[in-house]
Amino acid sequence: MTRRAVLSDANGAHGPAGARYLAPGWFTARVFNPAVARLTRWGLPLAGSRELAVRGRSTGEWRTTPVNPLVVGGVRYLVAPRGHTQWVRNLRVAGAGELRLGRRAEAFTAVELADAEKLPVLREYLRRWAWEVGAFFDGVGAGATDEELLAAAPKHPVFRLEPLR
């Protein structure tokens, strides 16, 4: 499996300076993600998956992708294992979105966490989904030291989701 890393330019066009995005391979982009998204749209989530819907930062049109929301201490989070992806950039601009499962859509606002706040979320995310996303964390796992997780934190944006009432 080949992963293509895309680094931001000097102006941070792809996210913060030095930000990384690991593009999905052909199988993930053309088979796995569409299958997970389809099952989730049908109301059959794979390992708790949801379809994230966010307005595009340029077009304003809804963009969707499958994600694995995580609950830590009663709070829901989204972690970007592949780094500063399109959905991350769109969510930063929009500040809100929806998590969809079947016909249900839960609207939320999103607050991006500072790197120091990410430790318990990244640790739990890796504990729960290392089998799926561990390859994107460069050998850092749930049992890593705080220092190792802090070093990985800038590569993996994390958003706290606050439900709209």
Paired sense of beta strands 4-7 and 20-23, if any: antiparallel
Name the CATH topology of 4-163. Pnp Oxidase; Chain A (2.30.110)
Asked if 129 and 47 touch (Cβ cutoff 8 Å), the reply is: yes
Asked if 8 and 16 touch (Cβ cutoff 8 Å), the reply is: yes
Map out the domains of the chain as residue ranges: 4-163
Residue 121's contacts (CB-CB under 8 Å, 6 or more residues apart) are: 70, 72, 77, 79, 113, 158
User: What string of pLDDT tens digits covers the 165 residues of the chain?
Assistant: 334 444 443 333 445 555 777 666 776 667 666 776 677 677 766 667 899 999 999 999 999 999 999 999 999 999 999 999 999 999 999 999 999 999 999 999 999 999 999 999 999 999 998 888 888 888 898 999 999 999 999 999 999 999 997
